[in-house]
Structure 1
């Protein structure tokens, strides 16, 4: 089988999102729809070639199936890691359609499947994409766990803004006035909700923010995160906006932002951005995923 993906600059409105489609159940890599990252990065002031962060987008696929050489169906889970410095993200519905195109495709081995996935996804993203296939023998080992850190959702606050406002972010007054020594904190919220950039459908998520620096005001941070509730952007773009807004408003020495979004169409997307070297975060499903 040959891969044939064309990767011109494409806009979200031209993607399969929100459109009726005919599902293809035979291998078709042309279904993948790459979207350049830079346009949205321009909006948040991130210049091309000067990323203030590194990281990955971790995708989990729960509906991967194909036929073996004898025509017998096979099933597996899959983990895809797309580097944050890839020029393109991959639109999620097109990703789903592409994976479904393996449903009636005969392959000689799991290795052959993985090689096709790596080749096609890397070409669409414009960078090397990691692919891990988890067979049925590894299903039992899959775990659920919540993001670790101090849960700020318990704060009793009033909220009247539902679009992201960076001015809500700031430091604790004592940190601003006294120049207190840097703190290290991990803060968590399950109240992240945004909407699909094209369809407006809701995307639900949890976010973990780890930083070293002057202490961030927790109430302001929670109001800011709730502010994404009526905001239209893809998952990856929301996380990059959160990262850059916190960096500009609070100026931490170190910062990482990790979001776990609930799945849609058998896929969940979990973007991770950081400004300091570290291992990848745990790819463990939360209860809502």
Structure 2
């Protein structure tokens, strides 16, 4: 009888071991675990299963670069038939998805095609993969808000290390006074201690001279390889905008994806003590 306990098939898995985070596409990171390890103890045979079904996963931390080097983020829906020979070991799955982070792909379809092929090969059966914008996944729909999303701006990016001076000319040419509520879902930094990637949607509301959206987006993307805690990143963004941009009122609110059952959501403002009630699909 086979079980997961002390199974030799599990001895080479990355689970529970110190690992490096690869940011270049690498399907070899995926690891398979035979379903039979658990089913043998239940007396289940692959050819005579007493049930139908599938395993459905949602990926909230999928990102890659387009041909101009600009990050793209997506929510992914993965489904595996319960008849597949293997399950995909979860930590290896996370490491594999992280390997897309600094890799250029020409389209969403190309990413979806790679995911489908790699996961099908690991599971030993056809996996289904669907990619959705982070604010429009029907299965995970939440009430929207009125923030202007700056993610779709067509910019070229080549800076992934923090560069606050990008903001130096963000609004110096502007004369008009505005009030804006902006959101960017492309914020990524890394944990100061573990180097694990941290993902967030960042909401910025301000009044004053209008900030160039393209410049602000480039600045936020420059956190992509930066190592700092969530709270420090938000305070840095707040201070950099206050320092370089001629704004009066300013609030910066980051909604980070959860890790270990916790999500951390720092809020800093010139005028409000408490954070707004808000939630995103990736949380």
TM-score normalized by the length of structure 2: 0.48
Larger radius of gyration: 2
**Structure with higher RCO (Cα < 8 A, 6+ apart):** 1
TM-score normalized by the length of structure 1: 0.47
